Amino acid sequence: MVSSIPLAIVPTGEDDSAKRHQIMDGARRVFMDLGFDGASMNEIARAAGVSKGTLYVYFADKHSLFESIVERECLRQGKVSFNLDPAGAAETVLRDFGRAYMEIVCRPDGGSAVRTVMAIAERMPDVGRRFYDRVIAHTNQRLADYLRARVKAKELVIDDYELAAMQFMLMCQATLFQPYIFQAKPVPTSEQVAAVVDSAVRLFLAGYRAKP
């Protein structure tokens, strides 16, 4: 039986990379709008502005396309530069980190990405695990390394650095991330983020600052 999908010529080099990103950008919009189950390859091809034949040249199926999008998100977030200078005072560094962190997790399309990964994680556990390890756990470890440096500097007293780092990250999300990710509230304003992060810094230092 002859396939009804038209043949497509794959470009090479930069053109090939650009076409892959074009397809992934279109697919990401469809996944965000319709969810994984609601997205079809036909809809993805239309959103990406390519033929269905071209789509199948680059990606074998919807699962491989989704995995590629998650992989790209992992790489992007893994390269985010936080100002975690080990010589910097905790109050300033934590405040700067918290605000930058919340700008990432509450950016206009950030929550949708998390929602989509959560929705597919049970069916594709490797995808969910990879996103967690390379985005959430990676960020947590970077903050934990900073906290370890401040313990050595005798500014903080912490027994479990990874736990303390996660506590701070979750405190920064308080009243902001869950209403946003469940679409109960819009993207928080800079003022709202600043107020919550400042509160998180105060609480964190009240529990972990070294006593004089």
pLDDT the model gives residue 43? 95
Q: Nearest CA to 69 among 11, 15, 109?
A: 109
Residues 6+ apart with CB under 8 A from 86: 145, 146, 149, 150, 153
pTM (predicted TM-score): 0.81
User: Helices marked H in the chain — which ranges?
Assistant: 13-38, 41-48, 52-58, 62-78, 90-105, 110-121, 125-131, 137-152, 161-173, 177-181, 190-208
31 vs 28: CA distance, rounded Å? 5
In this prediction, residues 60-64 reach a mean pLDDT of: 91
Q: Measured between alpha carbons, how far is residue 210 from residues 50, 124, 153 in Å?
A: 59, 44, 10
Provide the terminal-to-terminal Cα distance of the chain, rounded to the nearest Å. 80
User: Does domain 81-208 correspond to CATH entry 1.10.357.10?
Assistant: yes
pLDDT the model gives residue 135? 87
User: For all residues of the chain together, what is the average pLDDT?
Assistant: 88
Question: Does 65 score more than 80 pLDDT?
Answer: yes
| Pair 47, 26: CB distance under 8 Å | yes
CA 180 to chain centre: 14
In this prediction, residues 14-19 reach a mean pLDDT of: 75
| Pair 140, 166: CB distance under 8 Å | yes
> 13-59 maps to which CATH number?
1.10.10.60
Query: What is the domain partition of the chain in residue ranges?
Result: 13-59, 81-208
Least confident of 62-71, 144-153, 166-175: 62-71
